[in-house]
Amino acid sequence: MEILSGNSCDPLQLSSLALAFVGDTVYDLLVRETLVSDANRPVNALHRLAVDKVKASAQAQAIKDILPLLTEEEASVFKRARNTRTHHLPKNSNPADYHYATGLEALFGYLYLKGEIQRVREIFRLINGR
Protein backbone atom coordinates (compact mmCIF):
# COMPACT_ATOMS: atom_id res chain seq x y z
CA MET A 1 0.00 0.00 0.00
CA GLU A 2 1.04 3.54 -0.59
CA ILE A 3 1.38 6.19 2.09
CA LEU A 4 -0.69 9.36 1.82
CA SER A 5 2.06 11.63 0.50
CA GLY A 6 3.08 9.20 -2.23
CA ASN A 7 6.70 9.69 -1.15
CA SER A 8 8.86 6.78 -0.18
CA CYS A 9 11.73 6.32 2.21
CA ASP A 10 13.46 3.51 4.02
CA PRO A 11 12.15 3.77 7.58
CA LEU A 12 15.13 1.75 8.85
CA GLN A 13 17.34 4.68 7.85
CA LEU A 14 15.41 7.10 10.05
CA SER A 15 16.04 7.80 13.70
CA SER A 16 13.67 6.38 16.27
CA LEU A 17 12.53 9.87 17.14
CA ALA A 18 11.77 10.64 13.48
CA LEU A 19 9.67 7.47 13.32
CA ALA A 20 7.90 8.50 16.53
CA PHE A 21 7.31 11.97 15.05
CA VAL A 22 5.34 10.40 12.20
CA GLY A 23 3.80 7.66 14.33
CA ASP A 24 2.40 10.16 16.82
CA THR A 25 0.27 11.65 14.07
CA VAL A 26 -0.73 8.27 12.62
CA TYR A 27 -1.86 7.04 16.05
CA ASP A 28 -3.64 10.31 16.83
CA LEU A 29 -5.50 10.19 13.50
CA LEU A 30 -6.64 6.62 14.15
CA VAL A 31 -7.88 7.59 17.62
CA ARG A 32 -9.75 10.62 16.28
CA GLU A 33 -11.22 8.67 13.38
CA THR A 34 -12.47 5.99 15.79
CA LEU A 35 -13.99 8.50 18.19
CA VAL A 36 -15.80 10.38 15.43
CA SER A 37 -17.13 7.19 13.84
CA ASP A 38 -18.32 5.85 17.21
CA ALA A 39 -20.67 8.75 17.91
CA ASN A 40 -21.40 12.33 16.98
CA ARG A 41 -20.18 14.26 20.02
CA PRO A 42 -19.32 17.87 20.79
CA VAL A 43 -15.75 18.72 19.83
CA ASN A 44 -14.68 19.39 23.42
CA ALA A 45 -15.88 15.90 24.41
CA LEU A 46 -14.00 14.41 21.44
CA HIS A 47 -10.87 16.26 22.50
CA ARG A 48 -11.06 14.99 26.10
CA LEU A 49 -11.60 11.41 24.92
CA ALA A 50 -8.72 11.67 22.45
CA VAL A 51 -6.36 13.04 25.11
CA ASP A 52 -7.21 10.09 27.37
CA LYS A 53 -6.23 7.66 24.62
CA VAL A 54 -3.07 9.35 23.34
CA LYS A 55 -1.48 10.34 26.65
CA ALA A 56 1.79 8.59 27.47
CA SER A 57 0.36 6.38 30.23
CA ALA A 58 -2.38 5.04 27.93
CA GLN A 59 0.08 4.40 25.11
CA ALA A 60 2.51 2.70 27.50
CA GLN A 61 -0.21 0.35 28.71
CA ALA A 62 -1.29 -0.32 25.13
CA ILE A 63 2.16 -1.43 23.98
CA LYS A 64 2.66 -3.57 27.09
CA ASP A 65 -0.62 -5.34 26.30
CA ILE A 66 0.29 -6.13 22.68
CA LEU A 67 4.06 -6.60 22.92
CA PRO A 68 3.82 -10.43 22.83
CA LEU A 69 1.81 -10.16 19.59
CA LEU A 70 4.45 -8.18 17.67
CA THR A 71 6.79 -9.72 15.13
CA GLU A 72 10.50 -9.79 15.89
CA GLU A 73 11.05 -6.87 13.53
CA GLU A 74 8.26 -4.82 15.13
CA ALA A 75 9.51 -5.56 18.64
CA SER A 76 12.99 -4.49 17.57
CA VAL A 77 11.71 -1.14 16.25
CA PHE A 78 9.75 -0.62 19.48
CA LYS A 79 12.70 -1.47 21.74
CA ARG A 80 15.13 0.70 19.81
CA ALA A 81 12.80 3.68 20.17
CA ARG A 82 11.93 2.93 23.80
CA ASN A 83 15.62 3.00 24.64
CA THR A 84 16.35 6.23 22.77
CA ARG A 85 17.49 9.11 24.91
CA THR A 86 14.98 11.92 24.68
CA HIS A 87 15.81 15.50 25.51
CA HIS A 88 12.29 16.46 26.47
CA LEU A 89 9.83 15.01 28.93
CA PRO A 90 6.32 16.42 29.29
CA LYS A 91 5.91 17.86 32.77
CA ASN A 92 3.11 15.51 33.84
CA SER A 93 4.61 12.37 32.36
CA ASN A 94 6.25 9.40 34.02
CA PRO A 95 9.63 8.89 32.24
CA ALA A 96 9.09 5.13 31.83
CA ASP A 97 5.63 5.67 30.32
CA TYR A 98 7.03 8.35 28.02
CA HIS A 99 9.71 5.97 26.70
CA TYR A 100 7.18 3.20 26.11
CA ALA A 101 4.86 5.67 24.36
CA THR A 102 7.74 6.82 22.16
CA GLY A 103 8.33 3.17 21.24
CA LEU A 104 4.68 2.67 20.32
CA GLU A 105 4.65 5.83 18.20
CA ALA A 106 7.87 4.77 16.46
CA LEU A 107 6.29 1.41 15.65
CA PHE A 108 3.28 3.13 14.07
CA GLY A 109 5.56 5.49 12.15
CA TYR A 110 7.74 2.64 10.95
CA LEU A 111 4.83 0.54 9.71
CA TYR A 112 3.14 3.53 8.09
CA LEU A 113 6.27 4.65 6.24
CA LYS A 114 6.88 1.07 5.16
CA GLY A 115 3.41 1.11 3.60
CA GLU A 116 2.09 -1.63 5.89
CA ILE A 117 -1.24 0.10 6.46
CA GLN A 118 -3.11 -3.16 7.08
CA ARG A 119 -0.69 -4.00 9.90
CA VAL A 120 -1.12 -0.49 11.33
CA ARG A 121 -4.87 -1.07 11.40
CA GLU A 122 -4.47 -4.56 12.87
CA ILE A 123 -2.26 -3.35 15.73
CA PHE A 124 -4.61 -0.45 16.39
CA ARG A 125 -7.54 -2.89 16.56
CA LEU A 126 -5.61 -5.07 19.00
CA ILE A 127 -5.04 -2.04 21.23
CA ASN A 128 -8.69 -1.03 21.11
CA GLY A 129 -10.14 -4.51 21.46
CA ARG A 130 -11.97 -4.38 18.15
Angle (CA) 9-10-11 rounded to 5° is 105
User: Nearest to residue 112, comparing CAs of 27, 43, 31?
Assistant: 27
The verdict on whether 24 is a catalytic residue reads yes
User: Nearest to residue 62, comparing CAs of 21, 123, 120?
Assistant: 123
* Catalytic member of 10, 24, 52, 65: 24
User: Nearest to residue 130, comparing CAs of 34, 2, 55, 27?
Assistant: 34
Burial letters 43-78, b for 16+ CB under 10 A, else e: eeebeebbeebbebbbbbebbeebeeebeeebeebb
User: Nearest to residue 105, comparing CAs of 39, 14, 35, 36?
Assistant: 14
Show which residues are catalytic. Answer: 24
